[in-house]
Structures are given as C-alpha cells and as structure tokens.
Amino acid sequence: MPAEPPAGAPPDADAGLRSGFVTLVGRPNVGKSTLLNRLCGTKVSIVSDKPQTTRAPVRGIVERPGAQLVFVDTPGFHKPMTALGERLNAAASDALADVDVACLVIDARAGTGTGDRWVAQRLGSGYVVVLNKVDGLTHGVVLRHLAELADLPGAESFFPVSARTGAGTDALLDHLIERMPAGPRYFPTGTVSDVDDETRVAELVREQLLAITRDELPYSIATRVTEWDWPRIRVEILVERDSQKGIVIGKGGGVLKQVGIAVRRQLPDGCHLELAVRVDRNWQHRADRVERLGY
Ligand code: GDP
C-alpha cells in the first residue's frame, strides 16, 4: 500500500503547473538576449550591438502563478568560417531539440531577409514569430512588416514587441504560458538563471570589452575566470594577436580600467576584480581551444 503523506504536509507544489522550454532563435543582433533579459526581469545574458556575442546557450527562468518557463537563448545561426563558428551553429541546432515552443525573433528595423527564412525552415511548424524592436515605428510600418511575414511556413502566431521598452512582451509571455504542457518545476522557485557565477562574471567582462572597443575585436576576444577566491576574482582576457592586446589594455591601461569599473558596479560590494590580458594565437581556429573555453 502506498505510504500516506504525513498529516499537515503541504500540497504538491507542482500540481496543475504548466511548464516547459522555450527557445529564442533568429539571426544575430535581432535582440534575443535583450528579450531574454526583459522576460526574466533581470540580466541573464549579455547584450551587444555587435553580432554573435552570445556564445553558449543561456537559460533564463520565468515564474508566474501556476507556470514556470525555461528560456534558452541561442547563439545566432550564421555561415561557419571557423571552429568557433561551427560550434555556435551546432549549439543553436541543439537548443532546438526538446523544446516545447520555439520563438523566431525578427528585427523589425532590418526588414525580413532570406536569413530569417533560412532560420524559419529549421523550426518545423508551430513556432511563434516575435517581431522585435517595434519601438519608434509607426503602426503602419509594423503592420506592413507583419503582412510580409504572414506567409512564413509553419508560423503559429505573431507578436510585435519591443524588448527594449517591454511593449508587447506580457502578451507574448501569456501566450507562451498557454502553450506549455502540464509539467514539473524544472528549477527551484526563485532561480533566475542557470549560468554559474564564474561564467556570469567572465561574460560581464566580455560585454564591457565589446561595448568599449571598436574594431574587429569582438570575434577575437574570449574571457574566463582563472581564480575565484572571494572577494578576489581574476579574469583572463584572451586575444589572438599582440596588436589586439594593446587595444584591450588601452592607453595607460585606460580601457581595462574602464571595463573593471563597469563590471565591478554589477558585482556585490567589496569584490576585488583583477583583469589580465593574454595572447593565444588563433584560439578561434583551434577546436581544442574552443572546447576548453566551454563554447
Ligand atoms: P542578439 O544577438 O539577438 O542576442 O541581440 P542583442 O540582444 O544582443 O541586441 C542587439 C542590439 O539590438 C543591441 O544593441 C540592443 O540594444 C538592440 N535591441 C534589442 N532589442 C531592441 C528593441 O526592442 N528595440 C531597439 N530599438 N533595439 C533593441
């Protein structure tokens, strides 16, 4: 005979819960990371105006009464040129397997291109089209854009949103919750992200470097925590060439200093952040390096 629950035990917390996985896919720079952060109500993924800055899939968890959604932010699909590029595409494809709903994010300012359609073809049917960046656009422009998307094969619904202002994102979230099956709580209540602290700090450093430097650098930078002895954290910045090392350090160490200040502001008080720059020639083109950095 099954054991009776002890008297006074709380009811099953998962009873009646809707839960599942949602992936955000789309070309680089359409605003997937910004949308993930907006939906989660906090920063779980770095944002940059340079394409392809999200490398490993990041999960963000959204809780609503009776629902838990796990969002997976994927690196954008693109034509692979390097070992890193190949891994990014593989990571994007992996993220599509085993999800309950896929959202195809499209940039309302860029005009739908063959790139969006190429991604759409990989989604099968039932995906949600999220037309992002509608802030500042007139209704007419948004409607025209939606009309152009109407023939996307397999699209189930369309949501114009602005990840930046939050417009339309509640309606999107409500719809996604409706689409979730009955399921368990995948993460303990209150979890916002599955990104560990080391990865998060390394990514914050990379985010600031991308924001501050203005060259071909983005694809040549990797960051990783090499020591974590709270409050002391050491982050190593890998670049591919000596010339890039100079750019990252900046005149009189100016760039590194600026990066350090901006990152520390996002960390708990008292944190002692140390940044070091190292040249690792062509790390991107060497599969073993890419693997080791966890991308
Ligand atoms: P991802 O590569 O798809 O993850 O794109 P990001 O989230 O990194 O965003 C790329 C750029 O688009 C950044 O400069 C964002 O600030 C900008 N962006 C994202 N969402 C919006 C939006 O709703 N409106 C506007 N105007 N810009 C946005």
| CA-nearest residue, atom 9 of ligand 1 | 31
**C-alpha dist (Å) from residue 6 to 11, 12, 14, 174:** 11, 12, 18, 36
Residues 159-193 as b or e (16 or more Cβ within 10 Å = b): bbbbbbeeebbeebbeebbebbeeeeebbeeeebb
Q: How far apart are CA 129 and CA 159, in angstroms?
A: 6
> What pLDDT score was predicted for residue 138?
96
Q: How far apart are CA 12 and CA 17, in angstroms?
A: 10
Where does residue 219 rank: exposed (0-12), middle (13-18), buried (19+ CB within 10 A)? middle
| CA-nearest residue, atom 13 of ligand 1 | 49
**From ligand 1's centre to the CA of 35, what distance in Å?**
8
Q: How far apart are CA 122 and CA 100, in angstroms?
A: 15
- Here the tokens at position 236 are 């190593």
DSSP code of 193? B
Ordered strands of the 18-25 beta sheet: 58-64, 67-73, 18-25, 101-107, 127-132, 155-160
DSSP for 175-189, please give it.
Answer: HHHHHPPB---SS-T
- Here the tokens at position 110 are 């860029």
Residue 32 backbone class (left: φ over 0; alpha: ψ -120 to 50; beta: rest): alpha
pTM, full prediction = 0.68
Reduced to 3 states (helix: H, G, I; strand: E, B; else coil), residue 69 is strand
For the chain, list the domains and their CATH numbers. Answer: 18-179 (3.40.50.300), 197-292 (3.30.300.20)
- Pocket probe for ligand 1: among 24, 34, 38, 58, the residue whose CB has the most ligand atoms within 8 Å is 34
One-letter amino acid at 130 equals V
- Here the tokens at position 99 are 């999800």
| CA-nearest residue, atom 8 of ligand 1 | 47
One-letter amino acid at 51 equals P
Reduced to 3 states (helix: H, G, I; strand: E, B; else coil), residue 218 is helix
**From ligand 1's centre to the CA of 205, what distance in Å?**
19
Closest atom of ligand 1 to CA, residue 30: 3
**C-alpha dist (Å) from residue 116 to 15, 80, 130, 275, 280:** 39, 16, 12, 38, 34
DSSP for 108-165, please give it.
Answer: TTT---HHHHHHHHTT-SSEEEEEE--TT--HHHHHHHHHHHTT-TTEEEEEE--TTT
85: nearest Cα among 24, 28, 26, 23:
28
Q: What is the pLDDT along the chain (295 residues), one digit of tens a residue?
A: 444 444 444 444 577 899 998 988 888 789 988 998 899 887 666 565 554 455 455 578 899 999 999 887 665 444 444 555 555 555 555 556 667 899 999 999 987 777 788 778 878 889 999 999 999 999 999 999 999 999 899 999 999 999 999 999 999 999 999 999 999 888 888 877 777 788 888 988 988 888 888 655 666 788 999 998 888 999 999 988 888 898 899 899 999 999 999 999 888 888 899 999 999 876 666 655 555 555 5
